[in-house]
Structure 1
Amino acid sequence: MKIPILTSKKHKILTYNNIDYYLFYHPVLNCIKNILSISDISQNFTLKFENFKYKGEKAYSEQYTGNWWKNTEASLPHGSNLLSIILYSDATTTDTLDPLFAEKGIDLEVDNKTFWFFPHISTIICDWPEAATFSLVYKSTNSNFPCHFCLISKTLLADTDLSDVTFRNNENMQEYFYNNAGQDVSLENIPNYFWSLSSINVYSVTVPDRMHHLNLGLFHYQIEFTQALLQKQDSSLVNKIDNRLSKISRFQKFQMFTNGLQSISRMTAKEYRILMKVMVFVVDNLYKKNENNVENFVENKKLSEVYAKWNKMYMMSRSEIFTESDLENFRKDTFEWAKLFVEIFKPYSRSKLKFSKFHLWIYHIFELIRQFGIINGYTTKTYESLHKDFVKIPYRMSNKKNVEDQIMKTLKRQDIINVINKKQKKKKPTKLLNFSSKLFETKLTEANIYFCEKMNDPNINDNIIKGFNQFLECFNDFLDNILKVKNIKECDIIIYDTATLENESIIRAKNKFHDKPWFSNVAISMNSNESSDYQSDEGLCYGKILLMAKIEIEEKPSLNLALV
């Protein structure tokens, strides 16, 4: 990295109480040059549009496969290249962008070669309020035309049957503005900087971010309205949902909802994403009849269906490739969810579901994929993580004096530590390190009677009982077909509930862990000769550990086994 290029500039923005306040920033062009100096990036740098096809169809993946790149590249002078610039939220001010848009383009070095580029802003990734700031439309959801993409009336935001939409663009918005009619289309009374850039339509490049529009937006509303619906039909159902969530077994990297949905207002995007995985099962078979004669009663089947349709739409949105057929299926799945969402939850929304994010998602996302590629390419998750790791956390670690210097020193120290750890760290195999927490011990000759006695214990979990039922048969099969060992008359069988692997992972087959059962799910790499006998995921099968045992045979090495 050419670190000197990243020397920050200092600009005084105000003086207050005889104290000068400065903005420290890096010129955008210098940042671009620095990024291109990284060999891993420059060697894989895309210079030209790719007419991408998948399964014989026109398809969209990375941004350079989209129509925006194709059309913009065609408008450039012969021999020049397109430099796509993605802006994240309000991470830059527009007056620092001017050097990028020189009429003759700019020369940049890529992989030790000099290329002639014309920089163009392709997308602005942000949440809805920031999008309103960039496009200078009213931020209020109660404005007459709250969508920054089109001129849709606020009264039609929940309409799923629109056929004619007028899109905003630089020309029609300037016409309203300079005719003093900006307020008629919810425009702020400020000329937009982006109108001066003929290469960008600011109203169409402010793309929706899935994390804010879906995780923190529409799914949050769906959960909120589900609570309101259940509260009206039978208040005990809300507690029933909380109880179901709190009883979900522990699983590695799975957020536990011990308090149910009581903390919904404080949930993160990650927690909502985890909640999506379980809510379809949590609401299933929750109630049967309209016992309280509630108006606008919603059948349980429909409530489960709206979550199933949501999951189908959400998973489709994460696709790495969209063919035209995929886009049509995505549109179909999205509108199926949207229509059911409106049908079920409209009575429980004070605004009658007049959400800009709802309208924007179901009407504009499909064309945006055609223009700019897959949704994964314009999500704020990456940029917010960078901001958190490289600004927020180092700032909080400082003593708030000479903050910039402290942040840079902290980051340099972390970088040095990461480099050292990377050199020292070796890939650890997933071999057993040790067992702990012995549960049972018996002899092979006594195992059948011992297991039968234990199966009658009411405190034994069903998974362990299932393991007892299958253990001896599986063990004999393992000896005969895997180890090729015959005539073992006696051995010690020791059952454990916890095992630690050499990669520091902990697996459990435990009756109670913090008052809840925990039986670890594992991935099993199948023998190539057996893989065709099972439905596998590229050679991997998945299962739940029922029992873990150490088998001690006289004059032979111990066997460490897991029954899955």
Structure 2
Amino acid sequence: EKVIDWAKKFMKLFSPIADTEMKFPKFHIWYYHMINTIREYGAINSSTTETYESLHKFCIKIPYRMSNRQNATSQIINTVRHDSILNYLKRITSSTSAKKHRQTSTLSGIKESFLLSDFNEFINEYKATHHLAQEDEKAFDVLIEALNQYFDLIEGINDDDVKATLIKWYTNASIGIDTVRANTKYYNAPTFSNVAINMNEEEAENYHTVDGTCFAKLLMLFSLKIPGHEEKNLALVN
């Protein structure tokens, strides 16, 4: 066979100077597959060669690389953390002033607003007229309990202040150069961002963390305005 004869001569000629031991995907295709292809389908062309290259890539190379990975979950976590650290270092080492290094968060895409005293009434009316994602349902189930824990951290507020607290519900937030979303219909699909949280050292032991970083899913983005206090931008996560 001329193809096999050509392949043997090619190997004999170049193997002394090749560092790859002649392990070339295209050469492998020619030697082991091309003769049968010619016999069955006739003369080959560039499309035939490209087809074999594509099959080799998607059916052999990629599956091998995927199956050869160990501890895939930890690799994903480390990759996300690595990218987060790089983004942070880029921001703090830029030539901008120290004032610009400080991250600011801006909420946008307001959905609704309501007083905390009207929470139950608001939820019932909203559920009757809107579709809720699972994350929305979870947020409404735990919001009051989470706010009670938050209020316990603030001095000088009473029950009347709590009842008069105004909540504004948003769909997304810009944090530095990043955007996170907690949106039931973002291009007609629910989108709730996964986020990395730098935990307080005193609280880190209460959560599953990777070197002090906790990973969570956004459930709700909202602002909280307690009478007599500055408005705060908050996020509810799971």
TM range (shorter): 0.5 to 0.7
SS at match of 1:513: coil
> Which whole-Å deviations, capped at 9, do the CAs of 1:83-131 have from their partners, x for residues lacking one?
xxxxxxxxxxxxxxxxxxxxxxxxxxxxxxxxxxxxxxxxxxxxxxxxx
CA contact (8 A) 1:454 1:460 kept: no
Measured in 2, the distance between the counterparts of 1:475 and 1:315 equals 41
Superposed, 1:85-484 pairs within 5 Å as 183=5, 186-188=8-10, 191-192=13-14, 195=17, 202-204=19-21, 220-221=58-59, 311-315=66-70, 423-424=95-96, 428-432=101-105, 434-480=106-152, 482-484=153-155
User: Which structure carries more relative contact order (alpha carbon 8 Å, separation 6+)?
Assistant: 2
How far does residue 430 in structure 1 lie from its aligned partner after superposition?
3.9
How far does residue 485 in structure 1 lie from its aligned partner after superposition?
5.4
SS at match of 2:185: strand
SS at match of 2:216: strand
Measured in 2, the distance between the counterparts of 1:193 and 1:310 equals 26
SS at match of 2:215: strand
Measured in 2, the distance between the counterparts of 1:423 and 1:545 equals 32
How far does residue 469 in structure 1 lie from its aligned partner after superposition?
1.3
Say whether 1:500 aligns with 2:174.
yes
CA contact (8 A) 2:183 2:192 kept: yes
How far does residue 511 in structure 1 lie from its aligned partner after superposition?
1.6
- Of residues 189, 192, 198, the one that matches 1:516 is 189
Measured in 1, the distance between the counterparts of 2:71 and 2:196 equals 24
Identify the residue that residue 206 of structure 2 maps to in structure 1. Answer: 533
CA shift in 2, pair 1:190/1:423, >3 Å:
farther
Identify the residue that residue 300 of structure 1 maps to in structure 2. Answer: none
TM-score by length of 2: 0.63
Measured in 2, the distance between the counterparts of 1:454 and 1:493 equals 15
How far does residue 498 in structure 1 lie from its aligned partner after superposition?
1.7
> Which whole-Å deviations, capped at 9, do the CAs of 1:438-475 have from their partners, x for residues lacking one?
11111111112212332344522221121111111101
Task: Extract unaligned runs of 5+ from structure 2.
Answer: 26-53, 76-92
Measured in 1, the distance between the counterparts of 2:65 and 2:12 equals 39
> Which whole-Å deviations, capped at 9, do the CAs of 1:288-327 have from their partners, x for residues lacking one?
xxxxxxxxxxxxxxxxxxx8x974423579x99xxxxxxx
Measured in 2, the distance between the counterparts of 1:316 and 1:469 equals 35
2:10 aligned partner, one-letter code: E
Measured in 2, the distance between the counterparts of 1:533 and 1:450 equals 33
2:8 aligned partner, one-letter code: S
CA contact (8 A) 2:15 2:22 kept: no
CA shift in 2, pair 1:189/1:541, >3 Å:
closer
How far does residue 497 in structure 1 lie from its aligned partner after superposition?
0.8
> Which whole-Å deviations, capped at 9, do the CAs of 1:404-439 have from their partners, x for residues lacking one?
xxxxxxxxxxxxxxxxx954487844431x221211
Measured in 1, the distance between the counterparts of 2:11 and 2:171 equals 68
Measured in 1, the distance between the counterparts of 2:214 and 2:102 equals 18
Measured in 1, the distance between the counterparts of 2:71 and 2:216 equals 26
Measured in 1, the distance between the counterparts of 2:168 and 2:57 equals 47
Measured in 1, the distance between the counterparts of 2:59 and 2:233 equals 49
Identify the residue that residue 557 of structure 1 maps to in structure 2. Answer: 230
TM-score by length of 1: 0.29
Identify the residue that residue 29 of structure 2 maps to in structure 1. Answer: none
Measured in 2, the distance between the counterparts of 1:428 and 1:312 equals 42
SS at match of 1:459: coil
Measured in 1, the distance between the counterparts of 2:124 and 2:57 equals 48
> Which whole-Å deviations, capped at 9, do the CAs of 1:224-265 have from their partners, x for residues lacking one?
xxxxxxxxxxxxxxxxxxxxxxxxxxxxxxxxxxxxxxxxxx
How far does residue 548 in structure 1 lie from its aligned partner after superposition?
0.8
- Over the residues paired in the alignment, what is the CA RMSD in angstroms? 3.8
Q: Matched residue pairs, number?
A: 186
